[in-house]
């Protein structure tokens, strides 16, 4: 079906035609008429099938009646609010919105964290009809009173399942409470979970449901390969595959920011043009890296799952799962970066012995079999197969019951050359007891009867003088007095005087 058959205005059709779009995708063909009718919509489709245009184009058609060239901010209130879970996805939607409104006097802006709020505030105060935002930064602007949402006609939750996974549910509820009750709500996502349906029941009124493909399915245009390899040889295998398959552009996904940075450094040492992108990077650095990747300066983009929902690279040929995702839904989004808009692609997963469970969860979710393969020169070692789920179930048990291996010959020879205990030197060179001075040669002490007499005479003069506060006792926590005898300085033994002079 062509876009002209969907009831869009000539200004929108002209902008779409200049972008090279002629035929609508299945999700666009089903969703655009429903959005134009004003109904709430719950849409599910594979990533990369044109969900952004499926809600942006009909929104522009509905807002066309408010379009005006006035410079007054009051003439450009916020009419449409689009919420995105990640900055990259928000930026992608913002780019598309500006391209689609090329011939319409409708203003749009993008609001997300990691950037200075002052330019965003200036844009909002000039007046915009369409705001694309991440929930956290939008709440910041609401608190600063730089945005008003009392005239919003359309709300879009893009990748709603990801927003719930990232803990945005409370922020979403807070934003919902500030919107007019009479509005159109659209939920678009690649996957539907029970939490999404509960969210739709809370905020939507009799929504229409559109699913153009089986839920949680992968793109048939993407070839999926799984290679079994030891975890310590993953980086070498990845470098080998990049050279062997001549990957001119590839996104490599890791689970953590630390592993993404480490892998990008290792690939640079191997001679590949690689850069990392993740949440700890400044937004300006992330955009710069992404632009370098799109222009071809960077061949390998190492990313975390934060980028799996927002990267839109036209005709991306390869995607590699360097580390298998913990959530099988993330696998669908990762490999959805390739094979977009009808193009073909290859998705490669490197599976170590401790990632067998993640592999099984992916097969169960996608309802397909992905048999592990091996690459010549990177086969698994026997010890790895015995320790994990690659080999037989009894391999690990047989190895644990086996007797320990014999000590290597070199270590036995080295141990035999060590000196015996009797030949080792003594730990200390203390003098023998016979060499120590006799007690009679030590400094003389004062006679006991003289010390006792001095103490008794002191107690008779002042009985309280010899009392001192003792530490807190263990019984009842009481502070107990303790009598301490004091020896006059004249009766101190000479050895104490010698020590003071030192």
Domain boundaries, the chain: 3-211, 222-397
* pLDDT band with cut points at 50, 70 and 90 for residue 263: very high
With respect to CATH, is domain 3-211 assigned 3.60.15.10? no
Average pLDDT of the chain to the nearest whole number:
78
Residues of the chain with pLDDT > 90, as a percent, come to 43
Instruction: Reduce the DSSP state of residue 317 to 3 states and report it.
Output: coil
| 3-211 and 222-397 in the same fold | yes
CB 233 within 8 A of CB 378: yes
CB 80 within 8 A of CB 110: no
Quickly count helices (H) and strands (E) in the chain. Answer: 19, 16
Q: How many CB atoms are located within 10 Å of the residue 288 CB?
A: 15
Q: Mean pLDDT across the stretch 369-374?
A: 92
* pLDDT band with cut points at 50, 70 and 90 for residue 224: very high
Residue 492's pLDDT is: 56
Q: Mean pLDDT across the stretch 137-158?
A: 94
312 has pLDDT over 90: no
Q: Mean pLDDT across the stretch 265-270?
A: 94
Of residues 495 and 230, more confidence is placed in 230
pTM, two decimal places: 0.65
SS3 of 13-27: HHHHHHCCCCECCHH
Q: Mean pLDDT across the stretch 40-44?
A: 89
Instruction: Quick: pLDDT tens for 91-127.
Output: 889 999 999 999 999 999 999 988 899 999 999 999 9
Report the phi/psi class of residue 54: left, alpha or beta, with left for phi > 0 and alpha for psi in -120 to 50. Answer: alpha
Residue 36's pLDDT is: 94
In 266-312, at which residue ranges do the beta strands (DSSP E only) sit? 274-277, 300-303
Q: Mean pLDDT across the stretch 390-411?
A: 44
* pLDDT band with cut points at 50, 70 and 90 for residue 294: confident
Residue 498's pLDDT is: 47
* pLDDT band with cut points at 50, 70 and 90 for residue 468: very low
154 has pLDDT over 60: yes
- What is the C-alpha to C-alpha distance for residues 252 and 274, in angstroms, rounded to an integer? 10
- What is the C-alpha to C-alpha distance for residues 79 and 109, in angstroms, rounded to an integer? 12
Phi, psi of 165 (to 5 degrees): -65, -35
Residues paired with 81 in a beta bridge? 131, 155
Residue 452's pLDDT is: 52
Instruction: Quick: pLDDT tens for 472-487.
Output: 444 444 555 555 555 5
Query: Measured between alpha carbons, how far apart are the two ends of the chain, in Å?
Result: 104
Residue 402's pLDDT is: 41
Residue 488's pLDDT is: 57
449 has pLDDT over 60: no
- What is the C-alpha to C-alpha distance for residues 169 and 278, in angstroms, rounded to an integer? 22
CATH of domain 222-397: 3.40.50.300
Question: Is 70 exposed, middle or buried (CB count within 10 Å of its CB: 0-12, 13-18, 19+)?
Answer: exposed
């Amino acid at each position: 079906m062509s876009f002209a058959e969907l009831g869009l205005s000539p200004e929108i059709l002209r902008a779409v035609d200049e972008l090279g779009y002629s035929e609508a995708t299945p999700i666009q063909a089903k969703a655009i008429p429903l959005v134009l009718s004003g109904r709430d919509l719950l849409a599910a489709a594979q990533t990369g099938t044109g969900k952004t245009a499926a809600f942006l184009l009909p929104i522009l058609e509905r807002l066309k009646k408010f379009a005006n060239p006035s410079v007054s901010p009051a003439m450009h209130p916020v009419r449409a609010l689009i919420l995105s879970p990640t900055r990259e996805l928000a930026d992608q939607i913002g780019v598309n919105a500006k391209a689609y409104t090329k011939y319409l006097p409708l203003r749009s802006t993008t609001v997300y964290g990691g950037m200075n709020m002052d330019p965003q505030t200036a844009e909002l105060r000039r007046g915009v009809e369409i705001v694309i935002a991440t929930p956290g930064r939008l709440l910041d602007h609401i608190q600063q009173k730089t945005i008003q949402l009392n005239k919003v006609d359309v709300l879009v939750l893009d990748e709603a399942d990801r927003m719930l996974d990232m803990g945005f549910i409370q922020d979403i509820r807070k934003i919902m409470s500030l919107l007019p009750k009479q509005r159109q709500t659209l939920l678009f996502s690649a996957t539907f979970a029970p939490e999404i349906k509960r969210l739709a029941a809370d905020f939507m009124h009799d929504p229409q449901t559109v699913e153009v493909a089986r839920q949680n399915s992968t793109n048939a245009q993407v070839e999926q390969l799984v290679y079994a390899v030891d975890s310590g040889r993953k980086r070498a295998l990845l470098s080998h595959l990049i050279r062997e398959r001549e990957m001119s552009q590839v996104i490599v996904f890791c689970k953590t920011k630390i592993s993404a940075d480490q892998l990008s450094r290792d690939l640079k040492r191997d001679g590949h043009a690689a850069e990392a992108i993740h949440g700890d990077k400044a937004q300006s650095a992330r955009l710069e890296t992404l632009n370098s990747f799109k222009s071809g300066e960077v061949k390998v983009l190492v990313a975390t799952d934060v980028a799996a929902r927002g990267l839109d690279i036209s005709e991306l040929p390869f995607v590699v799962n360097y580390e298998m995702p913990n959530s099988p839904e993330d696998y669908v989004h990762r490999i959805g970066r390739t094979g977009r808009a009808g193009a073909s692609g290859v998705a490669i997963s490197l599976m170590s012995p401790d990632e067998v469970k993640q592999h099984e969860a992916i097969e169960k979710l996608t309802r397909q079999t992905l048999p592990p393969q091996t690459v010549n020169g990177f086969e698994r070692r026997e010890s790895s197969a015995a320790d994990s789920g690659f080999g037989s179930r009894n391999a690990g048990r047989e190895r644990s019951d086996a007797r320990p291996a014999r000590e290597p010959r070199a270590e036995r020879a080295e141990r035999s050359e060590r000196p015996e205990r009797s030949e080792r030197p003594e730990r200390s060179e203390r003098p023998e007891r016979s060499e120590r001075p006799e007690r009679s040669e030590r400094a003389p002490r004062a006679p006991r009867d003289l010390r006792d007499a001095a103490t008794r005479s002191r107690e008779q003069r002042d009985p309280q003088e010899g009392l001192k506060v003792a530490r807190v006792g263990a019984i009842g926590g009481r502070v107990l007095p303790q009598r301490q005898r004091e020896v006059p300085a004249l009766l101190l033994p000479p050895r104490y005087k010698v020590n003071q002079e030192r």
